[in-house]
Chain A
Amino acid sequence: MSAPLPLRGEAVVRENRCEGGANHRLRVALEGWPGAAPGHFVMLSPGARGAAPRFDPLLPRPMAVYRSFPGATPEIEVLYKVTGRGTQLIAEARAGDVLRIVGPLGVPFALPSPGARSLLVGGGTGIASLYELAAQARARGPVLVLLGARSAGDLMGRDDFAALGVDLRIATEDGSAGHTGRVTELLEAALDEAGPAAGDVVYACGPTPMMRRAAEIAAARGRACQVSLENRMACGFGVCLGCAVPRADGTIALVCRDGPVFGADAVGWAGVP
């Protein structure tokens, strides 16, 4: 399948609700949406489009496509946390409001080979990048989803993953749900209990220290690892050059154009914000 061309469109809000704490879920309808692969993202304007244009805050926010709903008028869902003025304005959008959107963007995850086991490690809003991957990898082999958060109330999308019927394990730093500790400890345990399986693929998306640790754990056990990096970006399609990160070989990559998904061994971790 060739990559779908991104569009700039008007997304009509179908549903936008708080799911406890800072966690929010937005569902929009998008005329002409070409579909997305697991790991694709969109740039979402900070707030509903009013009668007069608003340019403060100025820049759209990169958001993973959490779930896709094809149809006559396709719909997509994003999960986000309200962390500042831009996401607060998105949270204030009501059903029927219009949000400007550009997407789908980026290089998606490479799906596992048939029969291979997938181990998905998510933390924070990074969890949102993994749902469609879990749904599609499930058709190819066993899928283990490991989700981490500070506390049970911070977890995003837990029920959706559970409904997929995949093996779902939780870690919270305060012990309010699942394993007490870090989600990467669950990854170590899962890889060690199963013994060597060369086809295993580890997929990680979340805070940089989490992804870096997941990459180390996978590398130490000879498993392939793909990570989906987050970064500040102004455009999302390779022209502002704001989302640069160093590669392991010292050259510069753009998270939006060369990623967000990278092979973990290609990333120059020391320079990733």
Chain B
Amino acid sequence: MSGAAVDTAVNLGGIALRNPVLTASGTFGYGSEFAPFFDLAAIGGIVAKSLTLEPRQGNLPPRIAETAAGMLNAIGLENVGVDAFVAEKLPKLAPGVIVVASVFETEIDRYAEVCKRLSDVPQVKGLEINASCPHVKSGGIEFGQRAEVLAQLVRATRRATPLPLLVKLSPNVTDIREMARVCEAEGADALSLINTLQALDVDLATRRPVLRNGLGGLSGPAIRPVALRMVWQASQAVKIPICGIGGIMTAEDAVKFLICGATAVQVGTASYLNPMAALEVAQGMEAWARERGIARLADLVGSLQPPA
């Protein structure tokens, strides 16, 4: 069944996207790894692997483990460093690809420095602050787990860049609404949520954690209902747009995020099992709307109805 063309364009905090589907940081490399599989300009954009000031080697193996409808990871933020990203990785991408750079560090001034180095790079259309790292000076608690620390981080990175600023929130908090409000008050242009849920699995033979790091982050379809709940709650608490993340495997999953208040979505773990997942989600959303006579995907945003 075919209907009229669907307007798929959305605006995510100042980043104009041709459709609402981005790829989640840490699941899409630096983009060029996917070039054999599809044209990256056909999706809304890519969020590249989190960048630190210097290259990082990451954790020793085992780094991943499969769980029920999901997986654990503790990669340790292995990355090439911000300067190598700009010099070597970005030039491999076609000019039409929308790139959001993810920023990660262990101290606030270092976060700000990474933001500065990315701010004059033409192909970088926005920055996403990964606030899920343990803050050394706060005794190892994640930046995103304490409202006052998160506020300092957003304030400092906001000052460091004129680019659209997204803050990626940790789900490992008591009240996601409080964290969302803090980011909005400090000038964030949009929110990305959720990051992985902190988790543990056990090797019965050795009685050790399955990951060398001990704890890991849970991703995949197992976390999707948690993500939908948090996106809905955050969208009720703030006016800035939200990029929904968490176990999106299909176009139908992505539509649910829009209905719960997300303006755009990120496809993450799905890209591992299907390198074309983000493209298929983007095309599938358009088809879903066309078959139902929905003229604009943006009209779906926040259309959740009260329980019957």
Contacts and interface: CB of A to CB of B under 8 A. Distances in A.
B134 interface: no
Contacts, number: 101
Given A58-B221, A102-B275, A252-B58, A238 B71 contact: no
Given A53-B249, A55-B220, A252-B58, A241 B75 contact: yes
Contact of B63 (A60, A100, A241): A241
Given A55-B220, A58-B220, A234-B71, A241 B78 contact: yes
Interface residues of B, number: 35
B187 interface: no
A58 B58 contact: no
Interface stretch (B107-115, B161-169, B265-273): B265-273
B225 interface: no
B62 interface: yes
A245 B28 CA distance: 20
B272 A234 contact: yes
B60 interface: yes
Nearest to A233: B64
A56 B273 contact: no
Interface in B36-75: 36-37, 57-66, 68-71, 73, 75
A221 interface: no
A244 interface: yes
A7 B275 CA distance: 9
A7 B276 CA distance: 10
A232 B274 CA distance: 17
A252 B64 CA distance: 15
B15 to A, nearest CB: 22
Interface in A161-200: none
A243 B71 CA distance: 14
Nearest to B75: A241
B269 A6 contact: no
B28 A239 contact: yes
Nearest to B249: A55
Interface string A229-258: 001111101111111111000011000000
A57 interface: yes
Interface string A37-78: 000000101000000010111111000000000000000000
Given A102-B275, A240-B73, A232 B33 contact: no
A96 interface: no
A55 B221 CA distance: 7
Given A234-B73, A273-B62, 12 more contacts: A5-B36, A53-B249, A53-B250, A102-B275, A232-B61, A234-B273, A235-B271, A235-B273, A239-B271, A240-B75, A244-B59, A244-B61
